[in-house]
Structure 1
Amino acid sequence: MRDALIVWGGWAGHEPEQGAAVVKEMLEGEGFRVRVETETAAFADPAIRDYSLIVPIYTMATIEKGEVENLTAAVRGGVGIAGWHGGMGDAFRTATEYQFMVGGQWVSHPGNIIDYTVDVIRPDDPVMEGIASFPYRSEQYYMHVDPANEVLATTTFTGAHAPWIDGVVMPVVWKKRYGEGRVFYSSLGHVASEFQVPQMKTILLRGMLWAAR
């Protein structure tokens, strides 16, 4: 049986507890044994190096040096890490090694909750198989991203809320390697109700399974 660790907390507006419950059920449905923690101290546990998957859900928080060092070392050693939206992409703003591992950092969502399009650019990838480009209503994340990411889906900003970014194409879903570990990220999922969007839920589940090998 594969083991997964979910660590949730941070800003309550992203509904981390509710999201953790949904993801726990998803992973258990795939045969994982899931451990759930609510403190970043869990990242310092040497045992995480034996897990198949880590899912951080911890927006706008801080992480101690020893915690981030153990977490990044575990992923470099082969543990998968996967997550979504601010729970992974805006978790620890001062931890640059964490951001290097993730492959991006949130910086803005012009217009807040808006309608936009998610464009699937790698329909041949198993994560995106059978999923066409689709409309979405949520925060459209503007991120600083790693050019080494393997981008699977993007979105294009219209400039309606920030004219100087009109036409900017921004990654939405990506995967990458960090040492021996697999890293997966999707910027979709501001609140837990977005798991009701089939494409969002399917992409995240497939991404977590890819990260966990």
Structure 2
Amino acid sequence: MRSALIVYGGWEGHDPEECATIYRRWLHEDGYSVRTATETSAFADPSIHDLSLIIPIFTMSKIAKDEVENLTKAVQNGVGLAGHHGGMSDAFREAVDYQFMVGGQWVAHPGNIIDYTVDVTKPEDPIMAGIPTSFPYKSEQYYMHVDPSNEVLATTTFTGEHAAWINGVVMPVVWKRRHGKGKVFHMTLGHQAKEFENANMATIMRRGMNWAARDE
């Protein structure tokens, strides 16, 4: 049986507990054994090296050196990593080794909650199969610093309405990558748990989570 760990906490504005509940339900339905933790000390546990998948939901906050070292080593050795929005890509801002693993870091969301469009760039990828080529979305439009080695599956284009100097910038929204032997999946959608009610968003995230999990 595949096994997963959800570690949630940090800034409450991203509904970490509610999101963890959604992930836990999905994982149980998809045949995983699941455990949860609410402290970053869980990342230092040697047992995480035996997991199939780790899901961080821990916006901002801090992570200790031994915690990030053990986490990144586990992924390098084959444990999958998956997550969404600031719970994964705006976590542990001072931990560059963590950011190197994730493949991106949030830096801005001009205009805050706005209407924008998500464009699928790899409709042939199984994670994106059947998702509309473009679909409307309302949330924070994340402006990211991203790793050019990411395999980008969807993007969004900034209009410049809220920051004129980024007019026309195309920014990754969904990507997957490798970190050592581990698979990493990230989606920048999902400012609040209610966004998981969006069928396109939820389908992408659930497929990406399962893609990232280590093969048994």
Partner of 1:4: 4
Partner of 1:196: 197
Cα distance in 1, alignment partners of residues 8 and 81 from structure 2: 14
Cα distance in 2, alignment partners of residues 53 and 183 from structure 1: 10
Partner of 1:139: 140
Cα distance in 2, alignment partners of residues 177 and 127 from structure 1: 16
Partner of 1:185: 186
Amino acid at match of 1:130: G
Q: How does the TM-score come out when normalised to structure 1?
A: 1.00
**RMSD of aligned residue pairs (Cα, Å):** 0.4
> Could you say what secondary structure the match of 1:73 adopts?
helix
**Deviation readout 1:155-174 (Å, 9 max, x if unpaired):** 00000000000000000000
Cα distance in 2, alignment partners of residues 20 and 134 from structure 1: 25
Amino acid at match of 1:192: A
Structure 2 unmatched ranges of 5 or more: none
Deviant stretches of 4+, over 3 Å? none
Partner of 1:77: 77
After superposition, residues 31-180 of structure 1 pair within 5 angstroms as 31-132=31-132, 133-180=134-181
**Deviation readout 1:73-124 (Å, 9 max, x if unpaired):** 0000000000000000000100000000000000000000000000001000
Q: How does the TM-score come out when normalised to structure 2?
A: 0.98
Amino acid at match of 1:177: R
Q: CA deviation at 1:191?
A: 0.2
Partner of 2:206: 205
Aligned pair count reads 213
